[in-house]
Structure 1
């Protein structure tokens, strides 16, 4: 069943047809005009009330359809999650940084929702997986301690902003020390710094780095600092790359954002899948509400090397691989079918949301659908979709499923 899905025009999205979201929308629905000055940030696939998908041929919301067709969800998913699609599937196209944020654990999400329902809208956790479609930049997890120490030694402007006690303890710490104990006071001091001090520190740092040679600028992340500051002048989040891993993902590489892991997407296009939630605790690079006490308290202060943060798929067969996070809410399958071939998706006990990202051909469940980029299909539990590329073409699709 083909779906009409909701586009979100958030300010940070890529503009017009620079956006993969807009390209997919335009390809699947040529009658929709793309505005070159408008941001096309996210395509939402699923039943989340802020962007529900509709079954085109029936003119009915997917959320309504499954209430009347329990077989679409399947007994295993119903037993675990009830009558719902428990994940939200997205395409993101990012022009400028999203906020530095983390997502609470399930119990913490329930507590935040109960105590601050206006700020934390639902009681669900929000683990998420991002798979790069184009070169993709992100900040993710705290760096190894020695890297942060080196930055603070070379950036006295930043070190002088922070409480002397926290910095002295931190710089005296050996690499094998407990980052949870020594890093939290430093990060707390950073995040609670006076706004005028942050702004003047950023100004002084940018002025100094501007005069350095290119290798020094590169090693001290000047190009990134300058770009973040242009978009978010005076924002404490501009300094976060000195504390968090700056990652450049190639297409097909992925990161899994477990609860309490600090992160921020900076640029590029990705497939994203998450638990069906909108729970975010923000810390910077945003005009939205920042909840510093909650964030500083909940964060995972472990140090990560970049390779620890890459999340690799498992091969399922010669056409497909699957990213299976350690949560029951979702997994994502990538399927590629070459010209002259045909492929039946694996029989899953879960409902699926499937988006064609490249190629041309046909997708058939009970009725054939023209398969082209941007076409989104809902597949009932225990059903298979036959993918047949057109002559001389391939098909590449991403399929979100429950991880049960």
Structure 2
């Protein structure tokens, strides 16, 4: 069954025809009119109340359909998830940085929802997987200890904002207690007075502009200037020296567990997550910042950028599957060569798939263009034919990881 899916026009999204989402929607629906001044940030496929999918051609929400036809979900979703679809599949198109954020664990989400239901509007966790569709730039997790110390030696402005006592403790600490000191440094940074942050950022931006190109590159001047132009005086700009700067190439993926700090910076991706919209923000955003909660639940684990890459498992000649360490979701990437047929692997739970490139013909002779999103029942078997003699088809499919 084909779906009509919700578009989120968040301010950070790519605008008009520059957004993959606008182009996918235009391809799957010729009547769709692209507004070139409007940001098309996210396409949501699932049952989340903030952006629920509809059955195409019918005035029925997907959530309503699976409630009335529970058998389509598969036994696991009926038994373990009370007849709910536990995942949310997205396409994201990022023009400028999203907020520095973390997602709570299930237990933390329940507590936050109970204490602040107007801010944290559901009680679910939100681990997530991102698969790059283009060059995709992110901040994710704390850098190795040696990298953080190297930046602190070179950036007195950052040391001033954190506080020289904490910096002194960091350089005199042993590796065994470094993470406790890192936590104190990060708390000082994120809690610093806005005027002090603004003053030191201006000084750093001015100083970097006078340096040679090699030194500028070593201090990530271009990235800092880009973030500063979008979020002037925001303390999140300093976080590029504490967090890994990770760039995914198309097809590469990263998994973000609960409590892991991150921020998407630019590019397009497929994203899948547990069905939640719980976000704890602390920088690079005009939205509500909850610094106290973020620093209390944050994971202060230091590891290299390379550790953030999440590898798929090959299932057959056309399908790779990304299986994160949660049961709520897995994602299959399916690439079918031109002029080929392929029998989609049946899944034990209901699934949602989207055609990202190429056009397909399904076994009942229906043609679906790129951008088409489909709901499949548990154990449903379909045969896919590519309709082009030259262009391969690429599909992403989300289902429960059981």
Q: TM-score, normalised by structure 2?
A: 0.98
Match of 1:234 in 2: 233
**Secondary structure of 1:91 counterpart:** strand
Which of 381, 391, 401 is 2:399 aligned to?
A: 401
Match of 1:131 in 2: 131
Match of 1:299 in 2: 298
Match of 1:261 in 2: 260
After superposition, where does 1:59-98 map in structure 2 within 5 Å?
A: 59-98=59-98
Which of 364, 373, 377 is 1:376 aligned to?
A: 373
**Secondary structure of 2:91 counterpart:** strand
Match of 1:288 in 2: 287
Post-superposition shift, 1:171?
Answer: 1.7
Report how many aligned residue pairs link the two structures. 401
**Secondary structure of 2:176 counterpart:** coil
Match of 1:218 in 2: 217
After superposition, where does 1:4-403 map in structure 2 within 5 Å?
A: 4-174=4-174, 176-364=175-363, 367-392=364-389, 393-403=391-401
Post-superposition shift, 1:18?
Answer: 0.5
Gaps of 5+ in 1: none
8 Å contact kept, 2:187–2:295: yes
8 Å contact kept, 2:321–2:333: yes
Post-superposition shift, 1:179?
Answer: 4.1
Distance 1:288 1:55 in 2: 32
8 Å contact kept, 1:180–1:300: no
Post-superposition shift, 1:385?
Answer: 2.3
The runs of at least 4 aligned residues of structure 1 exceeding 6 Å deviation read none
Gaps of 5+ in 2: none
**Secondary structure of 1:259 counterpart:** coil
**Secondary structure of 2:292 counterpart:** helix
Per-residue Cα deviation, 1:197-225 (whole angstroms, up to 9, x for no partner): 00000000000000000111111011000
Post-superposition shift, 1:297?
Answer: 1.1
Q: Return 220-229 or 177-186, whichever deviates more.
A: 177-186
Per-residue Cα deviation, 1:36-70 (whole angstroms, up to 9, x for no partner): 11100000000111111111133311111011111
Distance 2:36 2:197 in 1: 35
